[in-house]
């Protein structure tokens, strides 16, 4: 897989468009939910390059659906919150107190790298160590793997199963439905 730093991607988009090329920036998921689409558009606007945005299905919705985990469910969660587990400065400094809330599902993008810190911080700020969590690795693909655990044990589960990115964390009581509702690859 070829990858460039975000600043180079932004410049390349503008440069190729200014050369007269039709440029398509195809992103997995939705470009405006942790997809850095906003950063790319800022560059295009600054450079006077016309563009169009075609929204996608965010990884949270796609991965949850393919794993058999409803992000909301009247019996378990009335809200869902999307977060990144990998901030621009490389930390996992999140608003922990706000995240420990009943009847809420947390979806953490890019959470494997900081998984140990994330799980320990949530417990430290009051989340029950038995809170269900799922790791959805390579969601919506033929290589998808889903591991369920508790917030207390999820780091060990990720190590035991050699979980790899791209992966999404889903934390909340809705994860208890995964075994019952999983469908992908069964039907």
| pLDDT per residue as tens digits for the range 89-136 | 777 788 999 999 989 999 999 999 999 999 999 999 999 999 999 999
Q: Which domains does the chain have, with CATH numbers?
A: 6-46 (no CATH), 59-181 (3.30.950.10)
pLDDT (tens digit per residue) in 55-96:
899 999 999 999 999 999 999 999 999 999 877 777 778 899
Reported for 94-103, long-range contacts at CB under 8 A and 24+ positions apart, including other chains, are 94/118, 94/121, 96/121, 96/122, 96/124, 96/125, 97/125, 97/126, 99/125, 99/127, 100/125, 100/126, 100/127, 103/76, 103/77, 103/78, 103/79, 103/173
Instruction: Judge if pTM exceeds 0.85.
Output: yes
pLDDT (tens digit per residue) in 7-40:
999 999 999 999 999 888 888 889 999 888 999 9
């Amino acid at each position: 897989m070829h990858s460039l730093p975000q600043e180079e991607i932004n410049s390349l988009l503008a440069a190729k468009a200014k050369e007269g090329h039709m440029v398509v920036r195809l992103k997995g998921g939705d470009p405006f939910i942790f997809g850095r689409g906003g950063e790319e558009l800022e560059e295009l606007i600054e450079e006077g390059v016309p563009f169009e945005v075609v929204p996608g299905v965010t990884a949270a919705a796609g991965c949850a659906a393919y794993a058999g985990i409803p992000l909301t469910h009247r019996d378990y969660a009335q809200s869902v919150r999307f977060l990144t587990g990998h901030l621009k400065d490389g930390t996992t400094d999140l608003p922990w107190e706000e995240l420990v809330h009943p009847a809420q599902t947390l979806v953490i993008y890019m959470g494997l790298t900081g998984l140990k810190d994330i799980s320990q911080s949530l417990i430290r700020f009051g989340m029950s160590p038995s809170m269900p969590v799922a790791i959805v690795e390579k969601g919506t693909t033929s290589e998808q793997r889903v591991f369920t655990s508790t917030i207390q044990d999820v780091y060990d589960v990720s190590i035991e199963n050699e979980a790899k990115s791209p992966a999404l964390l889903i934390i909340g009581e809705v994860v208890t439905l995964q075994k019952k509702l999983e469908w992908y690859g069964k039907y």
